[in-house]
Structure 1
Amino acid sequence: MRLPSDIIHSVVSENTKIEGRDVLAEGTEEDEAYEQSGDSEEELTDDESYDSCECEYCIPPTEQVLYMFCLKNSSKILNNLESFQPNLLLSLFLHMSGVCCQRCQRARLQEIRSWHIVRYLCQTAVLLTWEQTNTRQYDRQLVPTEPLLPQPPSNVSGKICVVIDLDETLVHSSFKPVNNADFIIPVEIDGTVHQVYVLKRPHVDEFLKRMGEMFECVLFTASLSKYADPVSDLLDKHGAFQSRLFRESCVFHRGNYVKDLGRLGRDLNKVIIIDNSPASYIFHPDNAVPVASWFDDVSDTELLDLIPFFERLSRADDVYHLLSQQTASS
């Protein structure tokens, strides 16, 4: 199944030029050199800024055209989802869920927070891809049945389990020296110790303190534990996190590390995930509270603004009702 030719024609004709640049042009040698320079950091953290960029240099031409179409024609795209090739739809979704590269220093477009678009792309991409392929890249029967989390301790028993991402949600980390870094973490990579410079998102201390009082909080990151564990030690000064899960607890699905909430060992109607990357929760989009990616904006209030919403959620018996209301109003 393909996108109708008239829509493809209109999209291509309207969007082949973006901000005066030809999106079909090949990247420059400088671009390639920059991307190669980020290989080590990409392996260490879950930052997708090097391979899932929304800028016109990095995103493949077809996805760039369809991406712009989605932003400008949300109602038309939702009415024609069944006309997409499954692989193209999933590819489009994954690029929509990324963050911009360090080179262009632009946060991902806020239009993506029109959550109904992301949710439908999540659900439809997975369903179409699984239904129309003979072999799934991810088969739940092949995943260990042992829950990722132990039984909750008595002080959080019965509380909602909130899964919280690390990179670009709570902190931003870089191998490049940062003068105002909150933490500097030494990390050994291939026998060499590298310094990782970590910036805390504004209001993260207040956010974690309050979340720890209301919920069973779990850090779940696609980063390596040798980086994320020491960062968490310094970040979580109030002891909000009852458990920590790292890359090895993720499911590698279609080139992305997915956090499968069904493996936690908790009732899904009492599980929430907070993450800047929709690719991380593509299996459970209805359990998600999306947040904008953060890099260095000192005026950011995203975490502070979320606290009143989570105070209401903490009293819910079933998270889906309140989350669906939030989705409808976004």
Structure 2
Amino acid sequence: MSSNTTDPREPMRRRLLERALWGGVSLAVGALGIAPMQGALAQTHVKTLRIGYQKYGTLVLLRARGTLEKRLADQGIAVTWLEFPAGPQLLEALNAGAIDFGTVGETPPIFAQAAGVDFVYVANEPPAPKSEAILVPRHSPLTSVSQLRGKKVALNRGSNVHYLLVRALKQAGLDYTDIHPVYLAPADARAAFTQGGIDAWVIWDPYFAAIEQHTEVRVLADGTGLVDNLQFYLASRRFATAAPHVVQAVIDSLAQLDAWAKTHPDEIARELAPITGLDVATLAVAARRASYGVAQVNAPVLAGQQTIADTFSELKLIPKPIAVKDAQWLA
């Protein structure tokens, strides 16, 4: 397919995606020079599976071990991998046809579906509420979420921690409009946090664990009692329809890896350290807070996602209401 083929609706669609997913942040896909795919896959026998992953998680370990490549080699299918800083950027790549499969937290699929991204929920890991938190510097005068009124709070717009912040504020008797959200990617947010440019930072592992290990911070609240913080595996609807056997092969491989990972956090840390560039101590903390046990997305999980979608619609953080069930994978 030629990359010069252009849909005249593309500029408008990309502007909508940019506003809905992460505001003024530059699109990762645009920076990579990836052109959107047009039309459906021409055949059901695919030759390549393109997986989007983030800095940490079971997919990173799966990539390191190479077991999926071995599993799919017999079918003549190659596997390629592309890293993204957060879920919103990964989903834009999926929408543009740059990847077929990826992993994100709870909130990115909500923003993506509202922006018209055509994906399906494939599977999810169990809840991991302690893997994300609202942080302040250790010497900050702030001691509770209720004191965030009027403060600058950094987060990656449309990421999993977006819902944590909304829920924590509500529990503390605050509205989202009572704070000054500062939308920054993790690296920029960390710089602003350590330099005193923001009052609080809402962040997930392994970035959460990393700053805990190397900077004096305090946790105002983690996800306990507030959010599930599920990790989702998503696929483009086009790919999942064309090659459900390939999608299932990924889930089966993840299930095998999860069965081992549940009881081996230290080994996970040692394996991932040279790949992620993070130290073993940081990764061990993140591994112990993570959850393992991939399962097919079921009705209660979708209901939880619908609650998140309705919340963001009421806050006008997404452009329209959505029906999450429309994105369920019916393999």
Q: Determine if the TM-score, normalized by the shorter chain, exceeds 0.5.
A: no
TM-score (normalised: structure 1): 0.31
